[in-house]
């Protein structure tokens, strides 16, 4: 996944929150570069996410997960199951970033405990090899979506074991407007995300961002993000249904 993100060609991610492994499996067969399972706002439980992991990786795509706020132990469990990346929401202090990294990386970088049952099966690596290579086989994205995070973005990026930042433009818009607005494309958010992208690039780390539509994703790709998500399973399903109904009623 590190090589894919460094390839120079931006990665487009599917974003899944419906509690059914067949949905990410299906999207993994489309031309997405990776598939994210959202367990922060999505309705996906652990067993469903694990089933989805094998199906996504079987399509030759990296499986990624967004964990719930502060549930850093879940990051290790998803890596054990064979996920290739973890996105941690609301990383607002250096301590948050350090704790997240500690569950993502084996010593000496972090304190990830040994037990990669699914990762060994899916990678085909022997245990010793997986231990040696494991820290480089997965990416850790710290979400920047508050004023606090923006204020310490260089320090977050400098934490060993944090591979990049992932911007949450909706929460960022709520934070930057002082709780008065939810507009992920506001001028304030635009300025903040340009700044965050520049800081990540200066630190030699990855910059990723959530986007609600393909059109918005195209703008963000042009800006130089390494990875951009496009819509969500729910949004795609609804858009597809509306398109078909409109055509049928025309």
Q: Which residues bind ligand 3PY (CB under 6 A)?
A: 89, 145, 168-171, 184, 210
Q: Can you tell me whether residue 243 is helix, strand or coil?
A: helix
Active site residue 41: yes
Using the minimum distance from each CB to ligand 3PY, give the nearer residue, 55 or 149. Answer: 149
Taking the C-alpha atoms of residue 114 and residue 107, their distance in angstroms, rounded to an integer, is 10
Phi-psi region at 38: left, alpha or beta (left = phi > 0; alpha = psi -120 to 50): beta
* Least distance from ligand 3PY to the Cβ atom of residue 77, Å: 21
Torsional sign, CA 134, 211, 4, 59: positive
* Selected binder of Mg ion within 168, 173, 216, 217 (CB under 5 A): 168
- Residue 42 lies near Mg ion (rule: CB under 5 A): no
Residue bearing tokens 């974003």: 15
Residues 172 and 184: beta-carbon distance below 8 Å: yes
Q: Which of Mg ion, ligand 3PY, none is residue 186 near (CB under 5 to 8 Å by kind)?
A: none
Using the minimum distance from each CB to ligand 3PY, give the nearer residue, 6 or 147. Answer: 147
Q: Which of Mg ion, ligand 3PY, none is residue 169 near (CB under 5 to 8 Å by kind)?
A: ligand 3PY
Q: Which of residues 196-215 bind Mg ion (CB under 5 A)?
A: none
Using the minimum distance from each CB to ligand 3PY, give the nearer residue, 123 or 170. Answer: 170
Taking the C-alpha atoms of residue 16 and residue 172, their distance in angstroms, rounded to an integer, is 21
- Residue 171 lies near Mg ion (rule: CB under 5 A): yes
- Residue 110 lies near Mg ion (rule: CB under 5 A): no
In the set 41, 117, 195, 226, the catalytic residue is: 41
For 39, 43, 119, 213, the CA distances from 143, given in Å and listed in that order, are 14, 20, 24, 19
Residues marked active site are found at 41
């Amino acid at each position: 996944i590190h090589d894919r993100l460094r390839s120079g060609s931006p990665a487009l991610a599917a974003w899944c929150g419906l509690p059914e492994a067949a949905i990410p499996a299906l999207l993994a067969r489309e031309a997405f570069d990776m598939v994210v399972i959202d367990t922060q706002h999505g309705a996906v439980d652990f067993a469903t996410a694990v089933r989805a992991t094998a199906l996504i990786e079987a399509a030759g795509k990296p499986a990624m997960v967004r964990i719930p706020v502060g549930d850093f132990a879940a990051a290790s469990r998803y890596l054990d199951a064979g996920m290739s990346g973890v996105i941690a929401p609301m990383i607002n202090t250096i301590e948050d970033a350090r704790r997240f990294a500690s569950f993502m990386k084996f010593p000496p970088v972090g304190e990830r405990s040994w037990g990669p049952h699914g990762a060994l099966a899916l990678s085909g690596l022997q245990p010793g090899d997986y231990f040696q290579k494991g820290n480089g086989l997965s990416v850790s994205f710290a979400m920047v979506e508050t004023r606090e995070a923006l204020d310490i973005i260089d320090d977050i990026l400098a934490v060993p074991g944090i591979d990049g930042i992932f911007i949450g433009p909706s929460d960022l818009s709520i934070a930057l407007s002082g709780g008065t607005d939810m507009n992920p494309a506001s001028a304030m958010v635009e300025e903040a995300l340009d700044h965050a992208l520049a800081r990540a690039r200066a630190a030699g780390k990855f910059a990723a961002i959530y986007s609600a539509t393909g059109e918005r994703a195209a703008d963000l790709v042009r800006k130089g993000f390494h990875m951009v998500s496009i819509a969500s399973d729910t949004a795609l399903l609804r858009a597809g249904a509306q398109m078909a109904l409109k055509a049928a009623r025309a």
